[in-house]
A and B are shown apart, each in its own frame.
Chain A
Amino acid sequence: MFQEFFSRSSQLVWPLIGLLLSVVFFVGVLAYVFLGLRDRGHIGQLAALPFETEETSEGPAAITAGQIGRAS
């Protein structure tokens, strides 16, 4: 089947290579993430990175999320 396919043009190998690359890559990433990356504590820590720091501000007090409304 492949021989017949390729006999039409030597360029036809490129889409096949592309597809194989992407399939292997995608399956690899999926398998790794759902089988290998299972340390829930570590993952939770990474997901919480945007909330880790206690900020202090000079000048008017910084406001927190959701605190919006007409000033004055």
Chain B
Amino acid sequence: MPFVEKDFLTVSDLNAQVRLLLEESFPEVAVLGEISNFKKHTSGHLYFTLKDAASQLRAVCFRGDAETLDTTPEDGIKVIATGRLTVYEPYGQYQLVAHSIRKVGVGELEIAFRALCEKLEKEGLFAPEHKQSLPAFPFRIAVITSRTGAAIRDIVSTLKRRWPCVDIFVFPVHVQGVQAAPEIIRALELVQQVEDLDLVVLGRGGGSLEDLWAFNEEAVARAVYACSVRVISAVGHETDFTITDFVADVRAATPTMAGEIAVPLITEVGAKLDAMTEQLVQSMQNRIELRSGRLRELLRSYALGRVRGRIEGAMQALDFSMEKLQRGAREAVEKRSTALARELTRLEALDPRAILARGFAVCSDMVSDAIVRSAAAGAQLKDMRVTFHDGALRTEVKERIDGKG
């Protein structure tokens, strides 16, 4: 070769070196994953992909080893494949050369579950500070679950029964198998595009630890954590705990429970509204009664015969309005309150104190309480009561001074 040293490598050189590196670093490694794209070649070699929710790895098991396997590999099963890493140089693709493939037992899933729990907890994904409280009155709820099965019916029927005014957005996903985790993650992204969404219910019915596994995937946990909408996790039955439960804002023991936690009972909210309206009317009524009580007193003490009739009329109108209000058919209550307001304004105008406060006084006979309407009438009396806005005086009549009459 005319070229001297090391200005570049050929592709073959590089691949060969990477291969050496990989083989030296990973002479024996055990990998947990789910089998997909499984193919048994006529040669007897097995080709497949190992994957979890976020990543995948090419793998091959040559005939010699394939014949000794205990597990028959197939798409969708969770396995631990043990072997060495190498690079298939013609494609520059790295792969696992497995010499053993073993279906994963419950024990191993539990270990993986606990390890991931510990890791995410340390990272703060379960931290209570990150959890958002649920809205008191949600009107738009997304449900991420399987379109078939009992969970969707349980969730939707509970929501509708308790809170019929709610709008529900169903995002159908697989809840087990290879598609489950990526579909759930995508749905958690999509719900964030629904306008004014109040919360998300993510769940499925009960099942084995393997069935529930999608809800224990790290990538799913992170998607729940990243979701800007509040999430209620409802996976399995009371006794099933998944990592999704820990990351979600609230865990519901069952899908039905999720519906109960998510929304209030419409009858309870309605009763509360009624009680408040009643209280409102009651305190206004007390207020008015107090007021009309005072007016009655004035009416007695000032003996304002001339306006008495008008005041009494207004009083009756007020009583009538109050009665209507008390009967209180709700649909017209708005109109009535306006009528009541008008009545009260009229009463205010009739309040004799208002007139007296402007500087007028009323003279009346000390004995009969009759109002003295003219100087001529006054001249017949020895003394008179003169009522001001703040009280009355007894006055003596000395003489008539205007010279008329």
Q: Do A and B come from one complex?
A: no
Residues of B whose CB lies within 8 Å of any CB of A are none
